[in-house]
Each structure stands twice: as C-alpha cells, then as structure tokens.
Amino acid sequence: MKFEEMQVIWNSQNGEKLFAINEIALHTYIQRKRRTINTLLEIFEWTMIALNLVVGIALVTNLLRDNKPGALLILPVVFFYFAYSAYALVQRLRRRAAETRFKPTILGELDKAIWQLDYLIRQGRSMTLRYVLPLVLVVSITAIYSPKPLWALVMTLTLIPISYFAPRWEINKWYLPKKRDLESLREKLLLQEIQ
C-alpha cells in the first residue's frame, strides 16, 4: 500500500494525525497481487502438464521409431511422465476447489494470495525430486543403448544442477519476498481490526 493511497484525518481534540486506509485502493492492490500470483501459478501448472505430456509422447515416438533391444526399458519412465501429467491436472483441479473457501473480502483475498504463494513455493521446492530422478533414469538408459551417449551425459550434467538451483533461486528471489510483504500487510490489517 502506497503512502499516497492513504487518507490523512486530523483529530482536532488531541492534535494527532490519524491514518485511515482507503479500503477500495487496498482491495484493488490486493486483488492485483493475487491475480499476478494466480497467473504465475496457472503458467506453472499448465507448463508441468504440457511438458510431461510432450516428453512422454516424445519418448513413445522414439521408442516406436527405434526398435532396438532394450528400448522397452524406457516404458516405466514413459508411464511416469504420463502419470505425472495426469497427477498435475488432478492437483490443479484440487487447488482450484480449495481456493473456493476464501471469502471475497480484503482479508480473504489476502489469505488466498498467501495460500497460493505457499502452494507455488511447495511445488517449486519439490520439482527437484520429481524431475532429476526421472531425468537421470531416462538419460542413463538412453546412454546404455545409444551409440551417442556423450550428448546425454553432457545434458544430464548440465540439467541436474540447473534443476536443483534454479527453483531455489526463483523462490528466494521472487516468491518469498512477495510472501513476506503480503504477510506483513495481513498482520497490519489484523492489528487495525483489533484496535
């Protein structure tokens, strides 16, 4: 909330300046923040769904095209990607259903934004386990049966640290500061309600 968006009220009895929050401006500010967070969450979820589907389809296409011995060993990994795509879709539907519990009030919108950020942070932190292990498995199997395992090894060695550090950097740089700001605003609003 910007200082300019607050209205100054002069209390003539004791000569102190009191501040009243412009509730419409505050509600607009919170809704804008929540919509931004919701957009990030939607992009994240649809990317995970589409990415897993595309990787699964690419692996099936590669499996059907290359009829090499041992190629069927990739089937559990293919199943994992398709299953995770379905799981991500179900998780998205559950999240959307859980969001209906928040009321369309200032505090409700703020609580919803904080909850969505928590959800996004949890998803970002768990990505390492969801993708590094299957990626290493796919690349290892491919490297065993492929005549060109060098590209697979280079890709694995590059993507493993990126998939570990990139989400953590993103969370610490973008999501945690936003969450702290929203939680601070929530505390201030709760204190104002008590007084």
Contact 52, 88 (CB under 8 A): yes
How far are the Cα atoms of 78, 98, 103, 115, 142 from residue 68, in angstroms, in the given order? 16, 46, 57, 48, 11
Residue 146: per-residue pLDDT: 62
Sorted by where each begins, the domain ranges of the chain are: 30-194
- Asked if 104 contacts 28 with a C-beta cutoff of 8 angstroms, the reply is no
Mean pLDDT over all residues of the chain? 80
pLDDT, tens digit, for every residue of 92-134? Answer: 999 999 999 999 888 999 999 999 999 999 988 887 777 677 7
pLDDT, mean of residues 52-65: 88
